[in-house]
Amino acid sequence: MRSKLFVPGSRPELFPKALAGAADALSIDLEDAVAESRKAEARANVGAFIAEAGQAATGKALIVRVNALDTPHFADDVAAIVRPGLDLLNLPKAETVDQVRAAVEVIERAERAAGPQALPQPVRLLLNIETPRGLRLAAELAACSPRIAGLQIGYGDLFEPLQIARRDPAAVHAVMLAVRLAAGEAGVFAYDGAFANVQDAEGYKAEAEVARRLGFLGKSCIHPSQIALANEVFRPSDEEIAHALRVLDAAREAEARGVGAYMVDGKMVDGPFVRRAEVIVATARRLGLA
């Protein structure tokens, strides 16, 4: 999931075009991108789209950002979208373990209402880390339910109320590292947030490159022009793929000889490096690069 394109839930005419695009995932928004007066209309549009897209087996991940738990829309959003075809439910403004568990209870009720045969597997969650408290408790949030698939940074909600400059590299890096380590502790993925200046392609790419170096899975896109940038950054380079293949070859030889640590390309390699190489090669094969 190198790239994830946000699409407003109130713009159903954009759904087919987004589905046909190059993004690895679609993140359909029922929260900030939808006016209060159009919430019910948007959730009906999105529920119908998920049902149709799920049956079509598009190969893209379908994600829906619902309204927050403390809004009057949350339960209705969940009831509308919990159906075959939904890959992740994106929960905004996650702050406490109790809050996340309460959201899971609502999701479980929606799953029971859909019937035991309706959903092949439980709905998983992508938690937005976009408040100071959520950032401080990110590792606890990520580990509080087996339904948690990943953590995603929400820069706007996190930075703007605190008057933190969005383009301050040190601030961005600090948040990225904190979220990545929290996700790593819980064994879930970390996903980078949006970059609002659509015309600044170099700025988007530079931020995406930092996220990739920190082990993020991919970066959000708020405009189709950002998709190619994310896809380019979050693919293994030819050099990385070649090195990873040599690591795996060396690992097989070392195992046969009973050796735990060994040299590849002049670098000492052991178990953690092998696991990273396995991820790189698996990603490359999924993208048709190896």
pLDDT category of residue 263 using cuts at 50, 70 and 90? confident
pLDDT at 282 over 60: yes
pLDDT at 176 over 80: yes
DSSP state of 23: -
**How far separated are the first and last CA of the chain, in Å rounded?**
18
Angle at which helices 39-56 and 74-81 cross, to 10°: 20
Instruction: Give per-residue pLDDT as tens, 240-260.
Output: 888 888 888 888 888 888 878
Q: Is the whole-model pTM more than 0.85?
A: yes
- Residue recorded with tokens 């190198």: 2
> Binding residue per annotation — 65?
yes
Query: Would you call 46 helix, strand, or coil by DSSP?
Result: helix
Q: What is the pLDDT of residue 116?
A: 67
Distance CA 204, CA 192 (A): 11
Instruction: Give per-residue pLDDT as tens, 57-105.
Output: 567 899 999 999 999 999 999 999 998 889 999 999 999 999 999 999 9
pLDDT category of residue 115 using cuts at 50, 70 and 90? confident
Q: What is the pLDDT of residue 82?
A: 93
Report whether 43 contacts 81 (CB < 8 A). yes
Instruction: Give per-residue pLDDT as tens, 181-211.
Output: 999 999 999 999 999 999 999 999 999 999 9
Closest by Cα among 221, 57, 218 to 151 = 218
pLDDT mean over 123-151: 97
| Paired tokens of 170 | 């040190």
